[in-house]
Amino acid sequence: MEGADSKPVKVRGRQCCICDKRRAALKRPKTLEQICRECFYEVFEEEIHQVIVQNQLFKPGERIAIGASGGKDSTVLAYVLSELNRRHNYGLDLFLLSVDEGITGYRDDSLETVKRNEIQYRLPLKIVSYKDLYGWTMDEIVKMIGLKNNCTFCGVFRRQALDRGAALLKVDKLATGHNADDIAETVLLNILRGDIARLSRCTSIVTGEDGPIPRCKPFKYTYEKEIVMYAYFKRLDYFSTECIYSPNAYRGFAREFIKDLERMRPRAILDIIQSGEDFRISTSTKMPEQGTCERCGYISSQKWCKACVLLEGLNRGLPKLGIGRSRGLNNDHTKGAKESNGTKSFESKQCGTLDF
């Protein structure tokens, strides 16, 4: 029994397992270590620095565009790359590159966040829009095709829009905020689709080296949850609303599956990525031959790139023309493109040209 003058024993909180000086503030989703905020910032940034150095992602003097959507991934990427560039003397010229898909109530709001990031991080910003590049906004496309398959159009157009914006900035590389969760999801999606060509390259930390502008993924081994924690603790300014057209996206099913695996075994995300890296394609498997689109000059394994096929379908009032696997176009496709029902000639909207 305690004496009348005895003082209550103060329970000591769990200490950080790295520094053993400060109280632990979080449990790392990736390693389950309990660490303090300061140590979390340090290990988070150091891991990304090591990925950059070990994979030689950048060279001194290069111009690097950061794909900026205003979301957590791209905002943290812009902040961390700015910090590491200064701290480790990378010698890079950094730029923010955003795509305005034309989604009212979503992209217009997120672009305001990017504009604030431009001021906060002192990085020049370039915005390219679907309307200027293709003559269509995503709102107009969804109005025509409905909510099914809209992500196909947006994904194809966005990829080319980023390349075109990067070409306007005359950058050497494009850095994107794809994280470990994204890459693991992509591995599963390519397996489910039987897409051997994409499966063979989806885990590469640098892609498009044979194209106009290479892309790199500094967050390849960085968990989405840790990016969210970093943004929260650092109080970074980012936009967190989901795209209003994304709930029906096929990728969502893979995402939920990955989250379930992570809850049972956090290491599962990295294991899936490693499995993707270790896949070997049989030498007897016929792979698509890389060429260029006859219409716009963009990289394509078909006569017309996917964006040109999709855009022709929209302009002809046949939005389903490019949905699913490409099976080639009829010989009269050029004629049909010019006939469109009251719309502008397809030739007036060259979707992927890099000749400015």
Closest CA to 230 of 238, 241, 242: 238
DSSP-based three-state secondary structure for 173: strand
Residue-wise burial string across 224-263, b where 16 or more C-beta atoms lie within 10 A, e elsewhere = bbbbbbbbeeeebbbbeeebebeeebeeeebbeebeebbe
The DSSP output letter for 176 is -
Please state, in angstroms and rounded to a whole number, the distance separating the CA atoms of residues 145 and 226: 37
Please state, in angstroms and rounded to a whole number, the distance separating the CA atoms of residues 51 and 45: 10
DSSP-based three-state secondary structure for 279: coil
The DSSP output letter for 179 is -
Task: Please say whether the beta carbons of 157 and 327 come within 8 A.
Answer: no
132 is in an annotated binding site: no
Which residues are CB-contacts of 6 (< 8 A; sequence separation ≥ 6)?
none
What is the token pair recorded at 60?
Answer: 């001194």
317 is in an annotated binding site: no
91 is in an annotated binding site: no
In the numeric block, the tokens 């080319």 are attached to 160
342 is in an annotated binding site: no
Half-sphere exposure of 317 (CA within 13 A, CB side): 8
**Residues pairing with 64 in the sheet:** 94, 173
67 is in an annotated binding site: yes
The two beta strands, 63-67 and 173-175, are parallel
What Rg do the C-alpha atoms of the chain give, in angstroms? 23
301 is in an annotated binding site: no
DSSP conformation letters of 51-86: HHHHTT---TT-EEEEE--SSHHHHHHHHHHHHHHH
Closest CA to 349 of 163, 211, 157: 157
Please state, in angstroms and rounded to a whole number, the distance separating the CA atoms of residues 179 and 258: 13
177 is in an annotated binding site: yes
CA 254 to chain centre: 16
> Strand runs (DSSP E) across 200-273, as ranges?
206-207, 215-216
Annotated binding-site members for ATP: 67-69, 73, 99, 177, 182
Binding-site residues from annotation? 67-69, 73, 99, 177, 182
